[in-house]
Amino acid sequence: MCGIVGYIGSKDAKDTVLSGLQQLEYRGYDSAGIALVHDHEIKIYKDQGRVDHLREICNVSFSSNLGIGHTRWATHGIPNKLNSHPHISNNERFVLVHNGVIENYKKLKLTYLNDYKFYSETDTEIIANLIEYFSNQGKDTRDAVLTAISELEGSYALLVIDKKDTNKIYIAKNKTPLIVGTGESGITIASDVIPLAGHCKNYISLEDKTFGYVTSDEIHLFNYFNKEISFDMKQLDISSNAFGKGDYDHFMLKEIHEQPSIIRHLVQEYFDKEKINISTEIIQCIKNCTKINLVACGTSMYASYMAKYYFEKLCNIPSEVFVASELVYSSPLILDKPCFIYLSQSGETADSIAVMKKFMDKGFPSIAITNSVNSTMANLATYHLNIFAGKEIAVASTKAYIAQIVVCAILAKAVSGQKTNLKNNLSKAALAIEKILEDKILIKNIAKEIVKANDLFYIGRGIDYWVCLEAALKLKEISYIHTEAFSSGELKHGSIALIDQGVPVIAICTQEGTNSIVRSNLIETKSRGAKDIVFAMESMSEASDDFIIPNVAHYLAPIVSVVVCQLLAYYVATLKGNDVDKPKNLAKSVTVE
Ligand code: F6R
């Protein structure tokens, strides 16, 4: 969601901030803005639209050594210029950008800011005025910032500039990531490490309830008791090239192609010959529990169904998948000794974090399986496992899905202690994906046949149904075609009424036990006019099938069959001319509930 970049140093702040914002575009946004210090004045440029548009309107001739910028994904107030950040206090002294949501902003407005004028509908504008309010009471800026943030309930990563002291950027962080990086030519602050690459050698990811300020060569951090805190910087080992598209037209296509090497990398990371490298505490935590609760959202939730399958089949532990956003506000019966496993690519998903806090407060252990060792969930959970997928930039998740499934398969095997051929089967799955990638022109041809569809249905049973859920999500989010996944047996209980002449129905058939029954269900839809399409595993394929999936172990079929569906979604979206990497209305990491 929203992105923040700030810079203070000897380079041109405008270039650094705007290119940083461009690197954060993948997070999803609808407006962008920048504040630049020039000659002790603060100049603000902002509007609805892309960073390229901001670059055009911020066509300044001066150079500046301090700037803060923001990409906004609208929550409070529609996407327009007035609601865009930066926001400014009434006396024009304090200018700030904010990621997050202030839950008590209406109350704060009534309590402190009755005499203030507001120009936007945002929760953010109250923070600028709250700082002004406390500064007007005689507090110095650091104290005014501290007093203001101590009043805030909710999440925030904040960058604040004070017109009366333009050699500092004030910073504050709670529940939303904020990273500060140091380099030879200054200090860069951002909501993610990507904008630091190429500028910074070291970085620190701020803890919750930390605030302070940076100058061009110093970082000062304080806790909310105003006590200065010491900290260690970590080395930043990423180059700016790591975040390029390479020879691919889109990040999504690049990330789909990375999947075989991610599987091989996971085998290297987690296997030492036949022994699995997962800490005994994690294994013991699962062995000690009587039920595994898997909590996640979206694609990560669909990956959780395979995790459930592995834990039940291999470890004999009952497992249940929960939608994080539902579990926050419900109280399921928790019996005996549960263990909570959270799957999240970003590790920053607000709904999952809320559930994690809720159940950790009740004393239940948590294992976060994420793609970011520095994320909120990785830091908060009792234990953490890395999925080693590398930064996922395209909004539509691809490689994280298969990496999550692979890590859960390895974890379940470690817990069960069973001798399975997993390592070997993972290598075969990587080869099978490579074969699919070689044949992707066939998938592009199928995409041409369905590109005009208004509705589309994926059908399957069991494991294949869970892949259908992910396949349908992928297609709808980037092609904007209304797509649903149905367990094929459920069709005749109501949903088959939706089948009209020419509606594509895609069956996924990779499991011996359900192959023929899914095919029968597909014939039922065909008899009612549907255009039938079959993606089948080689061992059970028929001459008329549309795409043959190379044979792999049945329990790894999802990480292979899903690639066909990812490519189908990709080609349909490109044929429609959609912005594949940044689909409309979506954000990469969903940091609001
Ligand atoms: C879909 C997609 C989302 C995410 C969901 C959870 O392509 O990316 O459905 O899977 O927002 O995000 P994480 O995994 O970061 O918790």
pLDDT band at 74 (very low <50, low <70, confident <90, very high): confident
Q: Is the CB of 398 under 6 A from ligand 1?
A: no
**For atom 9 of ligand 1, which residue has the closest CA?**
298
Task: Check if the beta carbon of residue 7 is closer than 8 Å to that of residue 195.
Answer: no
pLDDT of res. 242: 67
Q: Is the CB of 477 under 6 A from ligand 1?
A: yes
Residues whose CB falls within 8 Å of the CB of residue 424, separated by 6 or more in sequence, listed in order? none
Residues whose CB falls within 8 Å of the CB of residue 384, separated by 6 or more in sequence, listed in order? 367, 368, 369, 370, 373, 377, 378
CB environment 478-506: b (16+ within 10 A), e (fewer):
bbebebbbbbbeebeeebbebbeeebbbb
pLDDT in tens, 18-52: 999 998 888 878 999 999 999 999 999 999 999 99
Task: Check if the beta carbon of residue 213 is closer than 8 Å to that of residue 254.
Answer: no
The Å distance, Cα 346 to ligand 1 centre, comes to 8
Mean pLDDT of the chain: 95
Nearest atom (ligand 1) to Cα of 396: 7
Q: Is the CB of 293 under 6 A from ligand 1?
A: no
Which 8-state DSSP code applies to residue 514? Answer: H
Q: Is the CB of 297 under 6 A from ligand 1?
A: yes
Q: Is the CB of 299 under 6 A from ligand 1?
A: yes
Q: What is the phi/psi pair of residue 382, to 5°?
A: -60, -45
State the angle between helix axes of 422-438 and 557-575 in degrees (0 to 180), rounded to the nearest 10: 20
Task: Check if the beta carbon of residue 591 is closer than 8 Å to that of residue 155.
Answer: yes
Q: How far apart are CA 353 and CA 154, in angstroms?
A: 13
- Using most ligand atoms within 8 A of CB, pick from 73, 300, 476 the residue to mutate for ligand 1: 300
Indicate whether 159 pLDDT > 90: yes
The Å distance, Cα 417 to ligand 1 centre, comes to 31
pLDDT of res. 218: 97
- Nearest by Cα to 452 from 575, 290, 297, 323: 575
Find the range with the poorest average confidence among 65-69, 128-132, 589-593. Answer: 589-593
pLDDT of res. 240: 63
pLDDT in tens, 185-197: 999 999 988 899 8
pLDDT band at 385 (very low <50, low <70, confident <90, very high): very high
Q: How far apart are CA 263 and CA 285, in angstroms?
A: 25
- Using most ligand atoms within 8 A of CB, pick from 255, 304, 346, 474 the residue to mutate for ligand 1: 346
2 catalytically annotated: yes
Nearest atom (ligand 1) to Cα of 349: 16
pLDDT in tens, 494-549: 999 999 999 999 999 999 999 999 999 999 999 999 999 999 999 999 999 999 99
Q: How far apart are CA 356 and CA 362, in angstroms?
A: 10
The Å distance, Cα 3 to ligand 1 centre, comes to 17
The Å distance, Cα 348 to ligand 1 centre, comes to 10
Task: Check if the beta carbon of residue 148 is closer than 8 Å to that of residue 224.
Answer: no
Q: Is the CB of 375 under 6 A from ligand 1?
A: no
| Residue of 2, 200, 297, 565 with catalytic role | 2
Q: Is the CB of 346 under 6 A from ligand 1?
A: yes
The Å distance, Cα 496 to ligand 1 centre, comes to 29
The Å distance, Cα 589 to ligand 1 centre, comes to 7
Q: Is the CB of 344 under 6 A from ligand 1?
A: yes
Question: Is residue 389 exposed (0-12), middle (13-18) or buried (19+ Cβ within 10 Å)?
Answer: buried
Mean of the pLDDT values across residues 298-321?
97
More confident residue, 509 or 74: 509
pLDDT band at 380 (very low <50, low <70, confident <90, very high): very high
Mean of the pLDDT values across residues 402-428?
96
347 Rama class: left (phi>0) / alpha (psi -120 to 50) / beta: left
Q: Is the CB of 325 under 6 A from ligand 1?
A: no
Bridge partners (DSSP) of residue 271 are 276
Nearest atom (ligand 1) to Cα of 395: 8
Q: How far apart are CA 207 and CA 422, in angstroms?
A: 38
The Å distance, Cα 345 to ligand 1 centre, comes to 7
Residues whose CB falls within 8 Å of the CB of residue 455, separated by 6 or more in sequence, listed in order? 481, 482, 483, 484, 498, 500, 503
More confident residue, 297 or 240: 297
Task: Check if the beta carbon of residue 179 is closer than 8 Å to that of residue 204.
Answer: yes
| Residue of 175, 413, 476, 588 with catalytic role | 588
Cα dist. 255→7, 150, 261, 268, 570 in Å? 30, 41, 10, 19, 11
Mean of the pLDDT values across residues 476-495?
95
- Using most ligand atoms within 8 A of CB, pick from 250, 301, 304, 349 the residue to mutate for ligand 1: 349
pTM score of the predicted model: 0.83
212 Rama class: left (phi>0) / alpha (psi -120 to 50) / beta: left
**For atom 8 of ligand 1, which residue has the closest CA?**
397
pLDDT of res. 241: 63
> What residue type is 385 in one-letter code?
L
